[in-house]
Amino acid sequence: MKRIRRYFILLLLLAAVCLYGLTLYPHSPVKSSGASLEAPSAIHFLGTDNLGIDIFAQLSKGFYLSMMTGVTAAACSFAAGGLFGVCAGYCGKRTDAVLSFITNVFLSVPQLPVMIVIGAFWGQSIWNIILIVSAFSWASIAKQVRAKVMSVKNRKYVVLAKSYGASPWYIVRKHMLGEILPLLLVNAAAVTGRTIIQESSLAYLGLSDPLAKSWGLMIQNASSFTGIYFTDYWTWWLIPPVTMLVLTILCLRLLSQALEEWLLREE
């Protein structure tokens, strides 16, 4: 429990710092507020990019954009994976065969190439990215939920409830939901981190909204700037978004792992 609290507090600290960058910090994340490529100073904490836009303000907006994308995709995956998994595990027979086949199809598709192709056809929108990522994240959750439901439905108290005429909704709500929710929460944390990576990858490839201050887009703009590695510009233009991306994903991964270990001990 201490590890969970530690990682959660670290995420809250990142959120608080970035909230300051969006509210009280005097510079805009979308408008020029200084000279081109200013070095870090008391005025611009992390300097400015080639357009004179403050780096710290962009990082702050990128944090909430990434978390919004990750949490929304995780919620969609949570709902779809949970529904498919419960239906497949509880109903069994043909329903299980059909839903398991659909799940296996999604699991066998190479995600990144398909995401790139679909993103190119659907256009540059953050909501398109959420939809694409959600479509490829629910299947692994459904697989785990199905296995858990199949295990729970054969327990004696569930079989007894069925024999007394309990409805499927009652059995799922009373006897299975408590077993499924922790599993879904662990997967939701993992999906959030994975979504941030995928969104940043698509943004780096130019398939995200060009007006959104995504960390992937910041990295792409910095790395494509001519001669950046022969100057000091990379130290305040390239390193901060990379650091924030790695730190946020690492926190989410460690939080997911700590939640999983805690739940296993509770069982």
What are the pLDDT digits (tens) for 186-200? 888 888 888 888 888
Token representation of residue 171 = 């059995």
3-state helix, strand, coil in the chain (%, to 5): 75, 0, 25
User: What is the mean predicted confidence (pLDDT) over 199-221?
Assistant: 82
User: What is the mean predicted confidence (pLDDT) over 19-25?
Assistant: 91
pLDDT per residue as tens digits for the range 39-94: 898 999 999 988 899 999 999 999 998 889 888 988 998 899 999 999 998 888 88
Bridge partners (DSSP) of residue 54 are 48
Looking at per-residue confidence, does 177 or 209 come out higher?
Answer: 177
> What pLDDT does 266 receive?
63
Residue whose entry in the numeric block shows the structure tokens 């590890």: 3
pLDDT per residue as tens digits for the range 135-190: 888 888 899 899 888 888 888 888 888 888 888 888 888 888 888 888 888 888 88
Token representation of residue 222 = 């910095």
| CA count, 13 A, side-chain hemisphere, 164 | 9
pTM, to two decimals: 0.85
> What pLDDT does 187 receive?
84
- Does residue 255 carry a pLDDT above 70? yes
Q: Candidates 3.40.50.2300, 1.10.287.1080, 1.10.3720.10, 3.30.70.20; correct CATH number of 2-28+54-266?
A: 1.10.3720.10
Confidence of residue 245 (pLDDT cuts 50, 70, 90): very high
N- to C-terminal Cα separation, the chain: 14
Q: Show Cβ contacts of residue 125 under 8 Å, excluding neighbours closer than 6 positions.
A: 209
Among 8-17, 126-135, 231-240, 251-260, the least confident range: 126-135
Q: What is the mean pLDDT of the chain?
A: 86
Q: Coil, strand or helix: which one is 122?
A: helix
> What pLDDT does 267 receive?
60
Do 14 and 258 form a contact (C-beta atoms < 8 A)? no
What would the DSSP string read from start to end of 10-65? HHHHHHHHHHHHHHTSSS-SSS--SSTTPPP-SSSTT-B-TTS-BHHHHHHHHHHH
Token representation of residue 42 = 């008391």
The domain ranges of the chain are 2-28+54-266
| Planar angle of CA 149, 150, 156, nearest 5 degrees | 95
